[in-house]
Amino acid sequence: MKYILTVIFLSAFFTTFSQENKKAEDIFGLKAGLIGGWVSYEKAINESFTLNSEIGYEGGFLKGTNDKVDYVFTTIFSLEPRYYYNFNKRQEKGKNTNNNSANYISSEIFYVPDLLSSTNRENLDVNKSFGIIPKYGLRRSISKNLIFEFAFGIGYAWGENDINGVTSTLDLRLNLKL
């Protein structure tokens, strides 16, 4: 009986101890979304802040002039400081925080350079643009190396040829941790 109580006590102690010292971690991975793919690296700055950087190839669809659906894909670079605001609360409740599984607020800064762009329509150009989008998101670890991300936000983009305006994002992505 003493042996069983000792094992239970030590297990509880080490579980509690490891949860208290858990903090944001560095993650390198490949992401796949609804329309695109990205290589990403998220660097932990402290217990709750990270800097997520991505290089991606993403696109969209639009109705063309001849009632056909046209597509365009292009390269995008982004930096996104993230604050995981409920990281400690999840730990206290005993919830999974592996792979930075928590809710976050962030501000994505992106640049679209019109590099390696492709489309099915002639004379359809990608405007070089720069933008900032404040976002709310959540991240959940599905397994040791598979992570689900959801985020949304509204921001502003500045483009060449004076094409500026409000922009939005809706991210649904799976991240394969490498």
Angle, CA of 70, 71 and 73, to the nearest 5°? 160
CA distance 174 to 150: 9
89: amino acid identity, one letter: K
**CA atoms of 151 and 128, how far apart (whole Å):** 24
Domain around 130: 2-177
Count: domains in the chain? 1
Q: What is the CATH number of the domain that holds 140?
A: 2.40.160.20
pLDDT in tens, 42-101: 999 998 999 999 999 998 887 766 778 888 899 999 999 999 999 889 988 989 899 999
Share of the chain above pLDDT 70, in %: 87
Looking at every residue in the chain, the average pLDDT score rounds to 86
Burial classification of residue 144, based on how many CB atoms lie within 10 Å of its CB (0-12 exposed, 13-18 middle, 19 or more buried): exposed
Closest CA to 130 of 99, 157, 163, 166: 157
Q: How confident is the model at residue 40 (pLDDT cuts 50, 70, 90)?
A: very high
Rama region for 72: left / alpha / beta (φ>0; ψ in -120 to 50; rest): beta
